[in-house]
Amino acid sequence: MTDATEELERKRAESNARADEHRARRDKLNGEARATADERGRILDELHARSAEAQEHRRHRDQLNADVREAKRLREEWNRKLQELGDKLQELKRSRSAPRPGAVPVWRLRKELKELEFRHMTTALTGEQEKRLIEEMKRLEAAIREQDDQLRQDPEVEATLKAFQEARDEAEKHHAAVGSLAEEAQREHEGMVGLYEAVDELRRQADEVQAKLIEVKTSADEAHRAHIAAIEEVRDIEKMLYAARGGRAPPSWGEAEPPREEDFLARLKKGEKVSTEDLMELQKTGRG
């Protein structure tokens, strides 16, 4: 049985070596799987943080857009009031302006002033001509102020003018608010879009890492199964070695023809499995 024992020893050594190789590969792959899982976790943590930040930008943007709509509503409301008060003021001025006898009406004074202002901006004048033109413009402005001051002595005109100025201030305030809020809402929108683009990229990375993790874990499982198979093969060979070295023989082969050593060695060299019963019967017949 010396040749058979040596062959079994050789095969056990080969199986042990394979088991060690599979274990080393499994452990390496498991290490890669842990590192890949950590990377996936990092990416997912960043993805969730960016997504939450994007949601906050969206919430703020939506609130700002609601504020813009409200500011527009108020602007339109005050613009209507401004228009109504302006019409009322003009009507009061037309109906209650009563310049002293011989005085030029305000509307004509304003018309003349506009014509002189246009001439001053568009006509080449000598120094003396420009001086006389400016003096005339000042005279017209003073005459307009004088009549406006007289008109404002009327309580209703004064109250309407005050309300008109307040309405104009409110309309301008809400108009400015519309622009400011719209710009802020746009910045929030752009911030949200940028973050969602980053989230999409992180999700793509997470999917790639997940696919890699599955691949590595699958390979690690295969290496583990191969390791277990090699270990079981070693155990089977050790059982046969035990039997070949004088272990207790199993029940009789009965009527079956006992194995021959030449057949036994040939099967071992071919890599075929040899049962413990074969070894026990070979030892029992003394053909070693």
Q: What is the pLDDT of residues 202-224, one digit of tens each?
A: 999 999 999 999 999 999 999 99
- DSSP code per residue over 106-141: HHHHHHHHHHHHHHHHHS---HHHHHHHHHHHHHHH
pLDDT classification of 249: cutoffs 50, 70, 90: very low
**Of 36-40, 223-227, 251-255, minimum mean pLDDT range:** 251-255
Q: Is residue 109 part of a domain?
A: yes
Single-letter amino acid code for the residue at 217? K
Q: What is the pLDDT of residues 70-95, one digit of tens each?
A: 999 999 999 999 999 999 988 887 77
130 neighbors 151 (Cβ within 8 angstroms): no
pLDDT classification of 265: cutoffs 50, 70, 90: low
**Of 57-71, 95-109, 125-139, 151-165, minimum mean pLDDT range:** 95-109
Share above pLDDT 70 across residues of the chain, in percent, rounded to a whole number: 80
187: domain CATH number is 1.10.287.620
Q: Is residue 2 part of a domain?
A: no
Q: Is residue 275 part of a domain?
A: no
Q: Based on the structure, what is the number of domains in the chain?
A: 1
pLDDT classification of 253: cutoffs 50, 70, 90: very low
**Residue 100's pLDDT is what?**
59
In the DSSP assignment, the letter for residue 75 is H
Q: Is residue 153 part of a domain?
A: yes
Q: Is residue 199 part of a domain?
A: yes
Give dist(CA 181, CA 198) in Å, integer: 26
Q: Is residue 137 part of a domain?
A: yes
Domain that includes residue 83, residue range: 29-203
14 to 192, 233, 262: CA distances (angstroms): 61, 10, 22
Q: Is residue 49 part of a domain?
A: yes
Give dist(CA 126, CA 116) in Å, integer: 15
285 neighbors 261 (Cβ within 8 angstroms): no
